[in-house]
Amino acid sequence: MLKIVRCLSLLICLCLMAACQRSTPAALPTATLPAASPTSEPSPTPRPTSAPPTPTLAPTATLRPLNLTPAQPRAPQSVIPVGMDGRLVSGTAGNPWWNDTVFYEIFVRSFYDSDGDGIGDLNGLIEKLDYLNDGDPTTTTDLGITGIWLMPIMKSPSYHGYDVTDYYTVNPEYGTNADFKRLMEEAHKRGIYVIIDLVLNHTSAQHPWFIEAQDPNSERRDWYLWNETGGPGWHRSPNGGYYFGLFWDQMPDLNYNNPAVTAEMLNVTRFWLEEMGVDGFRLDAIKHLIEEGTQTENTPATLRWFETFYDFYKSVNPHAFTVAEVWSPTQTVAKYTGRKVDICFEFDLAEAIKDSAFRGRPAGLMLTQETVIAAYPPGQYATFLANHDQSRTRSSMMNDEQAKIAATLQLTFSGVPFIYYGEEIGMQGAKPDENIRRPMQWTPEGGFSTGTPWRGYHEDYPTRNVAMQNTAPDSILNHYRTLIALRNHHAALRVGEWKPVKTDPLTVYSYIRAVEGEVILVVVNLSGKPIEDYTLELAEGPFTAQMQPAFLMGDGVLSMPPVNARGGFDAYRPVTPLLPYGSLVIQFTP
């Protein structure tokens, strides 16, 4: 009898287990994501280009009803437009001219070759200026940028140019000083400012100054840093002793404790501002300028030196502009602004934008944006996604749509935007450096040179190039064109106040930009799925009941915001659905 009871008990347990297995849902797959690259790391690892598994979301039974009024269709209004008519911008609402500017970083060697020798040159850049900005407000085929940053163009033995042998002469592979002056003239005709890389920290080991300095009795000896013993950063000189070169033995550091060095580099600065007509400088690796003991970056002496530098270049040209590379966290970078340099690049922000676009969630983006805004004078920082030292943005994303999201988040935020050449078509590339500085992909044949390019194109050039994206409405190129045009046409996107908007779900990210008479709402679907059931909330803001919405980017049937007594809105869904990786930019004006 006992055996029968035990058998019946076992049978009942097995049945219960089977029922539980049928009724318990399978575990959702977990997306394995890479850790965010630290901003202090000079060579961020590119993210995988294949999509991680996406959890299957439970379907929404019903769309949450919101008591919203449909808006009347309305054309957008241009508010304080700049940058399309061939005139140099001058600054909106009391801001400096660079806050009205979208910059484009160019490696001359890789942009366009005019003479078939396989090396890009200044005359080739002049030929392509109309692609960047033709100065004609009636056309929409140009990119619309209003500023150019040229990577090093001074005489140098290296392909990259960051080891200079003559600060007063254009690299002969790129052209002549006269060619550069013609570039300045042609750029200004189109309303384009031009700044150039100025390498202050070091020279080339082949510079005549350093060759002379190797003689212990030379007057140039203390233009560099010397020691009797070696150590990290110290390199043996053929003539005895050790010289300091933080980056490379072919880049000996200048000694700014010597007043003669400061005087000479200030003279170089004056030469390019007065004789060559540049509008300013991008300053390379400035946190390493002056060492103090074993401290090789961000020393008090470096900060004091840049106060002198600032006063000097502003005395030569009060409108001259400097943007500096200080590859450090925001709180350290901010110490260089305010009468040392005009603005610095925001590395923390760049990583936060790319990380959010890749992961499909804002993660720390809002906190980073709030930190950046609090750290600097209004708008006085440079935004970017990638540069010549980092893997290209598209190589850090899973698809073109994520690259577009990153562009939206950059170009609708405050600050001064910089775009690395080729980012606008999604050019790809990861370390080594030569592979992130490849020739521009103009046509299915390449189109950079009639000769053999100094380095080969990325393998996708037959299908990823300017010519093919030019007429494709949904291309990355046309996405960039639209965003730059919006920035040029709307003061709120250039100099407006930024305010985050609370969203549900978190895969939607939103904020407003506002100036007097114009509010712009940005809504981004960071996910690869359409979203119908979402809400936006703004506790207080600049909205009034008289404001009407109009699409600047996106389409659909717009709803009026339910404006509350504090100028915000309590539950708003401007349009539905939000398309996968979709960007909405909506203008509100009276």
Assigned token pair, 120: 């890009």
Question: Tokens 């270049």 — which residue?
Answer: 313
Report angle CA 403, 128, 150 to the nearest 5 degrees: 70
pLDDT in tens, the chain (590 residues): 333 334 334 333 333 333 333 333 333 333 333 333 333 333 333 444 444 444 344 444 467 778 899 998 899 999 999 998 999 999 999 999 999 999 999 999 999 999 999 999 999 999 999 999 999 988 999 999 999 999 999 999 999 999 999 999 999 999 999 999 999 999 999 999 999 999 999 999 999 999 999 999 999 999 999 999 989 999 999 888 999 999 999 999 999 999 999 999 999 999 999 999 999 999 999 999 999 999 999 999 999 999 999 999 999 999 999 999 999 999 999 999 989 999 999 999 999 999 999 999 998 999 999 999 999 999 999 999 999 999 999 999 999 999 999 999 999 999 999 999 999 999 999 999 999 999 999 999 999 999 999 999 999 999 999 999 999 999 999 999 999 999 999 999 999 999 999 999 999 999 999 999 999 999 999 999 999 999 999 999 999 999 999 999 999 999 999 999 999 999 999 999 999 999 999 999 99
29: exposed, middle or buried (C-beta count within 10 Å: 0-12, 13-18, 19+)?
exposed
Helix/strand/coil for 115: coil
State how far the Cα of 587 lies from the Cα of 522, in Å rounded to an integer: 9
Question: Where are any strands of DSSP class E within 516-582?
Answer: 518-525, 535-538, 548-553, 569-572
Helix/strand/coil for 16: helix
Write down the architecture of domain 204-253 according to CATH: Alpha-Beta Complex (3.90)
Assigned token pair, 303: 């900060």
State how far the Cα of 408 lies from the Cα of 527, in Å rounded to an integer: 14
State how far the Cα of 573 lies from the Cα of 577, in Å rounded to an integer: 9
Does the predicted TM-score (pTM) go above 0.75? Answer: yes
State how far the Cα of 22 lies from the Cα of 7, in Å rounded to an integer: 23
Q: Chain centroid to CA 505: how far?
A: 27
Catalytic residues: 284, 325
For residue 236, the one-letter residue type is R
In degrees and rounded to multiples of 5, residue 476 shows phi and psi of: -60, -40
What is the model's pLDDT at position 67? 80
Question: Tokens 């082949």 — which residue?
Answer: 206
Count CA atoms within 13 Å of residue 175 on its CB side. 22
- Class for domain 94-201+256-493, per CATH? alpha beta
Helix/strand/coil for 267: helix
For residue 439, the one-letter residue type is P
Residue 220: CB atoms within 10 Å? 18
Phi-psi region of 184 (alpha: psi -120 to 50; beta: other; left: phi over 0): alpha
Contact 192, 281 (CB under 8 A): no
Q: What is the DSSP letter of 329?
A: -
The residue extents of the domains of the chain are 94-201+256-493, 204-253, 497-589
State how far the Cα of 152 lies from the Cα of 325, in Å rounded to an integer: 14
For residue 284, the one-letter residue type is D
Candidate CATH numbers 3.40.50.2300, 3.40.190.10, 2.60.40.1180, 2.102.10.10; the one for domain 497-589: 2.60.40.1180
State how far the Cα of 491 lies from the Cα of 81, in Å rounded to an integer: 7
Q: What is the DSSP string of 409-467?
A: HHHTSSSEEEEETTGGGT----SSGGGGSPPP--BTTB-S-SS--SSPPPTTTTTSSHH
Q: What is the DSSP string of 464-528?
A: SSHHHHHT-TTSHHHHHHHHHHHHHHBHHHHH-EEEEEEEESTTEEEEEEEETTEEEEEEEE-SS
Give the contacts of 561 (CB within 8 A, at least 6 positions apart). Answer: 543, 547, 549, 569, 572, 574, 588
In degrees and rounded to multiples of 5, residue 170 shows phi and psi of: -65, 140
Assigned token pair, 68: 């919203």
Q: Chain centroid to CA 326: how far?
A: 14
What is the model's pLDDT at position 62? 63
Contact 150, 156 (CB under 8 A): no
